[in-house]
Amino acid sequence: MSNKIPAEVNKPAQPRPEYPRPILRRDHWLNLNGRWQFQPDPKDQGLKDRWFHETQFEDSIVVPFPIESEASEQHNLTPERVNWYHRQFLLPVTWEANILLHIGACDHWTRVFVNGQEVGQHRGGYVPIKFDISHAVRAGENNITIRVEDSDSWTQPRGKQAGTTKWPIDYDTVTGIWQTVWLEPVSDNHITSIQSEFTLETNTLTCSIESSRHHKGKIELTLIDDAIPVARVEGQFDARAEAKISLTIPDPKLWSPESPWLYTVKLVLFDESGVIIDTAESYTGLREIGKKDGAITINGQTIYLRGVLDQGYFEGGWYTALDDATIKRDVELTLSLGFNCARKHQKIEDPRYFYWADKLGLLVWEEMPSGRIFSNELVRTFTDEWMSVLSRDRQHPCIIAWVPFNESWGVWHQADRTQQRAFVDAMVSLTRTLDNSRLIVGNDGWEFSTGDLWTLHVYEGETGNIRDRISELMDNPAATVAGGPRPRIGALAGADVAGLPILLTECGGIGYKASDLEGDEFAYGELPTTEADLLERFENVAETIADADQLCGFVWTQLTDVQQEVNGVLYFDRSSKLPIETIRRIMQRPGADIATPQ
C-alpha cells in the first residue's frame, strides 16, 4: 500500500461534468471545465500590461483542479502568488436572459474579466463566486480571463494549507480554481436560495426562499414525494427579497441515517402581474436536530455519534475529487467503516459531497477553515466567508452541526483577550441568527465559551483512562485538556457547560504506514509495527471510549492518511489498513446500547 499520489491520473474528456449545485437546480447551464490557457505572473505585471485583453497565454491548465494537483497538469507545489487563466466560450443562441458566471471555489483573491471588462472581484477560497456578466457578453464567441492571487498569510482562512510555517499536521497548499466553473441564464429577478426547517411536534415544514431583487410577486412551492405532489402552497414577497412559507405534512417520511428519505421541492417565481419568471428544483429531508438530557437527538430520539475526521483531500486532484463517483465512494466508505458522521475538518467541501451524504444518510459536521493570526483582516474575511458557507449549505439535511472554530486556531488568547473571545461568541450568535435548526460547536476541542455541545480532544497516551478524565473535567471544567507551551482548558471562566452533551471529537490518531513511505511521518503515539499491533491499539482505544458512559459520541482521527499524517484508518488511495468489517465492528462498540432512531 502506498500513501504517494500516482504520477499518472486518468481524466475524463471534460472533468467534473455533473451539475455543480444539486441543492438548487435549473435546466439550462453550461459547464466551462476543461483545458484553459494559463500564465503565471511572478512579477505581478499582468494588470499593468492589460493581460485581460490577451487571448493567448503560454501554458495550459485543466480546470477545476488546483495548480498543485497532478490533474491540473501543472502539478506545481510552489506556484506563483499571482496566476492568470483564460478561455473562450460560445454563448448559446437561445440564451436571451441574464447570464451568471459561477465559480464553485477559487483560492483566494479572484478578479474576473469578460471580453476585457472587469465584471467582479471576490476574496475567499472556499465559497461560491457569482457575477452577473450580462453587460459584458456578446453573441457568439466570448473571452473570459481570471486573475487569481493567493498568499501564505495566516491572517486569511486557509485551514491546513501550509504557509510560512508547516506544522506536522499541515499539508501542501491549494491555489487557484478548485471547483466547477459554469454559466447559467436567469431572469432579472430569480431565486437565489432556499432554507427549510422541520418541526416534529406539528409536522410543519417552514421554507425561506430568497430572490435576487426586492419585489411584490409570489413564490409557489410544491412538495413532491416519489413523483407524487403532496402539498402546494404560495408565499408573498411583499416588496422584500425573502418569502416564508409553512405547510403541514400529514404522515411525513422522516429523514434519518437509517432512512434518508428526500422530498423534491419545486419552486416557481411569479412577478407582480402573475407571470412566471423563474423555476428551480431543490429537495429537503424532514428531520429535527436537538439536544435533551445531555444527549443529541434526531427526530426526538437519542443518537450516539460515531464520527470520523475527514480532511477532504483526494488522489490526483488534491482538494478536488477527480469525479463524482470518487466523492460518492468516500461517503459509502465512511458508512461501511461503521461511522454515522463525518466531521469535515478545516475545509468547506464540494456541494456534491453533501448531496451524496443527503442521499445515503451520512451525518456531517461542517467546519470553517481557520486562520491562525488574529487580526482585523481575519475577522472581516472569516465572517464574510462563514456567512456564505451558511447560505450555501443550510438546505442540506445531512448537516447537523456548524463548527466556526477548531482548537482556538487564530483565537489563541481567548482567556485573557476579550476581543478574541467576543469574536468566537459573535460567530456562534451570528450562526444561530442565520440558522437556528442545527447544533453549534463554537470552538471545537478546547476552551469552551458558548455553544450547544461540549467537545473535547483527547488522544491516546495524553490522559490515561478517558472515563476518569471526563469525570475530572465535569467536576472542574477549567481543568487542562491539552498540554504544551500553551496548555488548553476545557471551559473558559464564566462559561456554563452544565447539562450539555459531551463528545470526544478527536481521539484515536493511531498511525500505521506503508513500508515504502519514507520521511517524517506524524501520528499520535508510537507507530505500530504490525497489523496485529494496530488492531490491538484500535480495540483498546475504542473500549476506553465505550467505557466512558458520560459521552454521547466520538470523532476518530482520521479517515485517510494525507501526506506525512499517517493516522488514517484508510491509506490515501482509500485501501484499508485493516479489514473493513473489523474496523466497523470496533467503531460500533461505543454507544452500542443506544437505541437507533427510526
Burial of 301 (0-12, 13-18, 19+ CB in 10 A): middle
Total length of the chain: 598
State the DSSP code for 574: S
Cα 391-212-15 angle, rounded to 5 deg: 60
Tens of pLDDT, residues 305-364: 999 999 999 999 999 999 999 999 999 999 999 999 999 999 999 999 999 999 999 999
Beta bridge partners of 206: 197, 246
State the DSSP code for 565: B
- Mind listing the domains of the chain with CATH numbers? 30-186 (2.60.120.260), 201-284 (2.60.40.10), 297-587 (3.20.20.80)
CA 14: distance to chain centroid?
A: 24
Write out the E strands in 237-391: 240-248, 263-270, 276-284, 289-292, 295-298, 301-303, 305-310, 341-344, 363-367
Q: Is the dihedral of CA 418, 168, 124, 397 positive or negative?
A: negative
Record the pTM.
Answer: 0.96
Find out whether 144 and 219 touch, Cβ atoms under 8 Å: no
Q: Among 75-89, 105-119, 154-168, 577-591, whose mean pLDDT is lowest?
A: 154-168
Instruction: Report whether pLDDT(595) > 80.
Output: no
Confidence band (pLDDT; 50, 70, 90) for 4?
Answer: very low
* Those residues with Cβ within 8 angstroms of residue 581's Cβ, 6 or more apart along the chain or in another chain: none
Tens of pLDDT, residues 149-198: 999 999 999 999 986 667 889 999 999 999 999 999 999 999 999 999 99
Tens of pLDDT, residues 32-67: 999 999 999 999 999 999 999 999 999 999 999 999
C-alpha cell at 357: 451524504
Q: What is the pLDDT of residue 370?
A: 97
Let me know how many helices (H) and strands (E) the chain has, helices first.
7, 34
Please, how many CA atoms are within 13 Å of residue 293, restricted to the half-sphere of its CB?
5
- pLDDT, the chain, mean: 94
Tens of pLDDT, residues 261-295: 999 999 999 999 999 999 999 999 999 999 999 99
Find out whether 222 and 250 touch, Cβ atoms under 8 Å: no
